[in-house]
Amino acid sequence: MTNAIIRAQPPLDFIPERFHPWVRRFVKVALPGWVRWQTDLVNIKVSNAEVLAQLYGDFQAGKNRFAIAFRHPAPEDAYGLAHLLWHVVPQSAKQLGINLQPVHSHFIYDRGIPLWAGNWVGKLCSRLGGVSIQRGKLDLVALKSARQLLANGRFPLAAAPEGGNNGHNEIVSPLEPGVSQLSFWCVEDLVKAERTEPVYIVPIGIQYRYINPPWDAIDHLLSQLETRSGIAGSSKKFMPPVELPTAQITNLYGRLYRLAEHLLTLMEGYYQQIYGLECPNGEAADANAQLATRLQHLLNGALDVAEKYFDLRPKGSVIDRCRRLEQAGWERIFREDLRDDMAISAVERGLADRIAEEADLRMWHMRLVESFVAVTGRYVLEKPTAERFAETVLLLTDMVTRLQGGNPFPRPSLGKREALLTVGEPICVSDRWSDYKQSRRKAVAALTKDLQGALEALIVDSGE
């Protein structure tokens, strides 16, 4: 069943950080068993952990402040980061002769997570040192808390500058500027306090690799999607424009393209019939390029439908538009006038519920777009690995499930995986302080661009 919202609710209040050491100790003990029970991860590999070990040693000696900026390709990223900080970094520090206190980090998480994961998750994140933030607005309370923690907190501060997971191991979504801005604020706060600690951002790459290429599982899931989409047994074939490694991969790619094209045609028809979307005309010489163009046009049309309902202007990137739509929906669902100590009439309650239900329905268009923000149209063709096939098939599974009114999470498992975490070279933000004083906007943009490049450079080739 989908997690549809049919009732208006009290406002989403900020969840403050309330770190408790015993909660960290309990989760550290319980996490390995939880990972084995709830995920298909069987191994976590880490490269360059000594970089973090040295930084933590200096941090605990009062010699620096730093933020951890990690890639966010999947919901399981938190497990790999916890393993990195709680196990690998202390081990690496011991080998380097660095005596560390318990290694941990504060972190920023989406305020919407407890809505679908349960209120207990918000309480757990709070007691683990997390700070909730509403992504679609200028959440001043959350930013003030995060700023204070980065400059004065007991631990470094971790955040995902991509904003949300994009489902791709080898594509970094356009970064949001929050981590860069917080880091410059930290430098500013230290300068005002006449403190000399340098401020760093540490990029961390995260990827996943199947222990054994799950070609049979991909084939089986494709068959299920073909049946659910009404194209099982179709004789229509698509020949890729380049030669692929094996006949099996060529066949799978043809089926994947056929399914994507079929679903895209269905969605174009839906938005054309119901919302008057004009579909692009003409055929490109490259069928994959044409498919990508049609997809981007469809995503823009889906966002436009939601934006018109919420009376929003289409401004900024696709991610920016998604964030504003999410916030507009939340403002109609989670309302200040519905706090527990305030009463409204039964009729007013009924109208409020109706407004909330309609807002949630319109946000469905945005959720659909979120799943395909990073889709390029040539991702599998450029490197037809099992990982890239699996990522794309799972994204199509998300779409089909949403179209059927279901919740796409948890996703089906295609096989056992291992996580690959790579610690990058720290970026010294303090060295850019003079640039920031000259132009804050340019300095933040330049730092965000360099961080994007650093995260992209940490992508490990998944070629088999």
Q: What is the pLDDT of residues 207-250, one digit of tens each?
A: 999 999 999 999 999 999 999 999 876 545 666 766 778 888 99
Mean local confidence (pLDDT), 119-148:
95
**Which DSSP letter does residue 429 get?**
S
Domain-embedded: residue 373: yes
Distance CA 102, CA 155 (A): 10
CA 46 from chain center: how many Å?
21
The answer to whether residues 129 and 155 touch, using CB atoms and an 8 Å cutoff, is yes
Q: How many domains does the chain have?
A: 2
Distance CA 149, CA 119 (A): 23
204 and 220, same domain (yes or no)? no
86-100, 286-300, 301-315 — which is least confidently predicted? 286-300
pLDDT single digits (tens) 3-54? 678 899 999 999 999 999 999 999 999 999 999 999 999 999 999 999 999 9
Mean local confidence (pLDDT), 317-343:
88
Domain-embedded: residue 351: yes
Beta carbons within 10 angstroms of residue 233's beta carbon: 7
254 and 312, same domain (yes or no)? yes
Domain-embedded: residue 430: yes
pLDDT single digits (tens) 271-294? 999 999 998 775 656 788 888 889
* Phi, psi for 202 (deg, rounded to 5): -110, 110
Name the token pair of 341: 């100590």
* Dihedral class, residue 316 (left if φ above 0, else alpha if ψ from -120 to 50, else beta): left
Residue 146 has pLDDT above 50, yes or no: yes
> 3-state SS string over 202-242?
EEEEEEEEECCCCHHHHHHHHHHHHHHHCCCCCCCCCCCCC
310 and 451, same domain (yes or no)? no
Domain-embedded: residue 46: yes
C-alpha distances (whole Å) from 111 to each of 43, 190, 373, 461 are 29, 28, 21, 33
Give the pLDDT score at 221.
96
Q: Inter-axis angle of helices 386-403 and 215-229, to 10 degrees?
A: 30
Give the pLDDT score at 2.
53
Containing H/E element for 70? strand 65-70
The answer to whether residues 414 and 242 touch, using CB atoms and an 8 Å cutoff, is no
Strands 106-110 and 65-70 come out as unpaired
310 and 205, same domain (yes or no)? no
Give the pLDDT score at 236.
54
Containing H/E element for 158? strand 157-159
Confidence of residue 462 (pLDDT cuts 50, 70, 90): low
Domain-embedded: residue 410: no
* Domain of 133, in residue numbers: 21-211+416-457
219 and 198, same domain (yes or no)? no
234 and 194, same domain (yes or no)? no
256 and 366, same domain (yes or no)? yes
- Label residues 25-40 b or e (16+ Cβ within 10 Å = b): eeebeebeeebeeebb
Is residue 410 reached through a cis peptide bond, with omega within 30 degrees of 0 on the bond before it? yes
Distance CA 333, CA 345 (A): 17
Distance CA 363, CA 172 (A): 24
Domain-embedded: residue 232: yes
Domain-embedded: residue 463: no
236 and 321, same domain (yes or no)? yes
Per the DSSP assignment, residues forming a β-bridge with 206 are 421
C-alpha distances (whole Å) from 431 to each of 198, 436, 454 are 8, 10, 17
**Mean of pLDDT over the chain:** 92
221 and 264, same domain (yes or no)? yes
Q: Could you tell me the end-to-end alpha-carbon distance of the chain, in angstroms, rounded to an integer? A: 38
The tokens 């599974």 sit on which residue? 397
271 and 140, same domain (yes or no)? no
The angle at the Cα of 131, spanning 317 to 84, to the nearest 5 degrees, equals: 90
The angle at the Cα of 175, spanning 166 to 432, to the nearest 5 degrees, equals: 155
Mean local confidence (pLDDT), 114-133:
94
C-alpha distances (whole Å) from 453 to each of 172, 316, 433, 446 are 9, 21, 20, 11
Provide the sign of the torsion angle of the four alpha carbons 175, 204, 371, 115, taken in this order: negative
70 and 102, same domain (yes or no)? yes
Give the pLDDT score at 1.
38
Instruction: Using CB atoms within 10 Å of the CB of residue 124, give its burial: 0 to 12 exposed, 13 to 18 middle, 19+ buried.
Output: middle
pLDDT single digits (tens) 345-402? 889 999 999 999 999 999 999 999 988 877 777 899 899 999 999 999 999 999 999 9
Distance CA 359, CA 133 (A): 21
Name the token pair of 186: 């930290």
Confidence of residue 464 (pLDDT cuts 50, 70, 90): very low
Give the pLDDT score at 280.
78
Domain-embedded: residue 6: no
141: domain CATH number?
3.40.1130.10
**Greatest alpha-carbon span in the chain:** 72
Give the pLDDT score at 237.
60
Distance CA 204, CA 156 (A): 14
Distance CA 437, CA 446 (A): 13
92 and 237, same domain (yes or no)? no
Distance CA 47, CA 425 (A): 12
pTM over 0.75: yes
Residue 341 has pLDDT above 70, yes or no: no
Distance CA 214, CA 221 (A): 11
The answer to whether residues 447 and 203 touch, using CB atoms and an 8 Å cutoff, is no
